[in-house]
Structure 1
Amino acid sequence: MDPLMARYILTNARIITPFRILDGGNVYVEDGKIVHVGETDMADAQVIDAGGCYLSPGFIDLHVHGGGGADFMDGTPEAFLTIAETHARYGTTALVPTTLTAETDDLLATLDAYTAARRVNTRGAAFLGMHLEGPYFALSQRGAQDPRYIRNPDPAEYQRILDYSPDIVRWSAAPELPGALAFGRCLKERGVLAALAHTDAVYDEVVAAVESGYSLATHFYSAMSGVMRRNAFRYAGVIESVYLLDEIDVEVIADGVHLPAPLLKLIYKVKGIDRIALITDAMRAAGMPPGESILGSEKNGLRVIVEDGVAKLPDRTSFAGSVATANRLVRTFRDLAAVPLHEAVRAASLTPARIMGIDTRKGSIAVGKDADLVLFDENIDVRWTMVEGRVVFGGRAHGA
Structure 2
Amino acid sequence: MSLIKIYNGTVITPYRTIREGTILLRDGKILEVTDKNVEAEGATAINARGMYISPGFIDIHVHGGGGHDFMDNTVEAFLGIARAHARYGTTSLMPTTLSCEKEDLLKTLSVYEEANVLNKAGAGFIGIHIEGPYFSMNQKGAQDPRYIRYPDPEEYREIIAYSASVKRWSAAPELPGALPFGEFLRSKGILPAIAHTDAIYEEVLEAYEKGFVHATHFYSCMSGVSRRNAYRFAGVVESAYLLDGMTVEIIADGVHLPASLLKLVYKIKGADRIALITDAMRGAGMPPGKSILGSLKDGVEVIVEDGVAKLPDRSAFAGSVATGDILVRNMVRLADVPLADAIKMSSETPASIMGIADKKGSLVKGKDADVIIFDEDIRIDTTIVNGEIVYPASELTISN
TM beyond 0.5: yes
- Measure, in 2, the Cα distance between the counterparts of 1:357 and 1:22: 27
Residue from 100, 104, 107 that aligns with 2:105: 107
Amino acid at match of 1:356: M
Confirm or deny that 1:121 pairs with 2:116. no
- Measure, in 2, the Cα distance between the counterparts of 1:106 and 1:241: 34
Give the corresponding residue for 2:196: 198
* Deviation string, structure 1 residues 270-306 (Cα, Å, up to 9, x no partner): 0111000000000000000100000000000000000
Confirm or deny that 1:79 pairs with 2:77. yes
Give the corresponding residue for 1:249: 247
Confirm or deny that 1:11 pairs with 2:7. yes
- Measure, in 2, the Cα distance between the counterparts of 1:393 and 1:84: 11
Confirm or deny that 1:28 pairs with 2:24. yes
Give the corresponding residue for 1:157: 155
Give the corresponding residue for 2:356: 358
Confirm or deny that 1:233 pairs with 2:231. yes
Answer whether contact 1:19 1:343 (CA < 8 A) is retained: no
Residue from 364, 368, 373 that aligns with 1:370: 368
* Deviation string, structure 1 residues 340-359 (Cα, Å, up to 9, x no partner): 00100000000000001111
Residue from 287, 290, 293 that aligns with 2:291: 293
- Measure, in 1, the Cα distance between the counterparts of 2:3 and 2:55: 18
Point out 4+ residue stretches in structure 1 off by more than 4 angstroms.
396-400
- Measure, in 1, the Cα distance between the counterparts of 2:176 and 2:166: 22
Give the corresponding residue for 1:272: 270
Answer whether contact 2:46 2:399 (CA < 8 A) is retained: no
Answer whether contact 1:197 1:218 (CA < 8 A) is retained: yes
- Measure, in 2, the Cα distance between the counterparts of 1:45 and 1:20: 25
- Measure, in 2, the Cα distance between the counterparts of 1:60 and 1:224: 24
Give the corresponding residue for 1:392: 390
The CA deviation at 1:17 is 1.6
Answer whether contact 2:293 2:302 (CA < 8 A) is retained: yes
TM-score, structure 2 as length reference: 0.97
- Measure, in 1, the Cα distance between the counterparts of 2:307 and 2:331: 16
Which stretches in structure 2 are left out of the alignment for 5+ residues? Answer: none
The CA deviation at 1:47 is 1.0
- Measure, in 1, the Cα distance between the counterparts of 2:44 and 2:231: 66
Answer whether contact 1:89 1:393 (CA < 8 A) is retained: yes
- Measure, in 1, the Cα distance between the counterparts of 2:124 and 2:61: 13
* Deviation string, structure 1 residues 143-173 (Cα, Å, up to 9, x no partner): 0000000000000000000000000000000
Answer whether contact 2:45 2:399 (CA < 8 A) is retained: no
Amino acid at match of 1:12: N
The CA deviation at 1:46 is 1.1
Classify the secondary structure of the residue corresponding to 1:12. Answer: strand
Amino acid at match of 1:174: A
Classify the secondary structure of the residue corresponding to 2:54. Answer: strand
- Measure, in 2, the Cα distance between the counterparts of 1:237 and 1:368: 42
Q: How does 1:56-75 map to 2 (within 5 A)?
A: 56-75=54-73
Amino acid at match of 1:70: H
* Deviation string, structure 1 residues 22-42 (Cα, Å, up to 9, x no partner): 110000011011101123332
The CA deviation at 1:395 is 3.4
Confirm or deny that 1:97 pairs with 2:95. yes
Amino acid at match of 1:10: I
- Measure, in 2, the Cα distance between the counterparts of 1:246 and 1:130: 26
The CA deviation at 1:14 is 0.6
Amino acid at match of 1:233: Y
The CA deviation at 1:19 is 4.3
Amino acid at match of 1:291: G
The CA deviation at 1:246 is 1.1
Classify the secondary structure of the residue corresponding to 2:351. Answer: helix
- Measure, in 1, the Cα distance between the counterparts of 2:332 and 2:389: 26
Classify the secondary structure of the residue corresponding to 1:153. Answer: coil
The CA deviation at 1:21 is 2.1
- Measure, in 2, the Cα distance between the counterparts of 1:117 and 1:270: 39
Give the corresponding residue for 1:52: 50
- Measure, in 1, the Cα distance between the counterparts of 2:369 and 2:399: 15
- Measure, in 1, the Cα distance between the counterparts of 2:176 and 2:59: 30
Classify the secondary structure of the residue corresponding to 1:25. Answer: strand
Confirm or deny that 1:332 pairs with 2:339. no
TM-score, structure 1 as length reference: 0.97
Classify the secondary structure of the residue corresponding to 1:314. Answer: coil
The CA deviation at 1:16 is 1.0
Classify the secondary structure of the residue corresponding to 1:161. Answer: helix
Which stretches in structure 1 are left out of the alignment for 5+ residues? Answer: none
- Measure, in 1, the Cα distance between the counterparts of 2:184 and 2:355: 18
Amino acid at match of 1:34: I
Q: Percent identity?
A: 60
Classify the secondary structure of the residue corresponding to 1:114. Answer: helix
Single out whichever of 94-103 and 40-49 deviates more from structure 2.
40-49
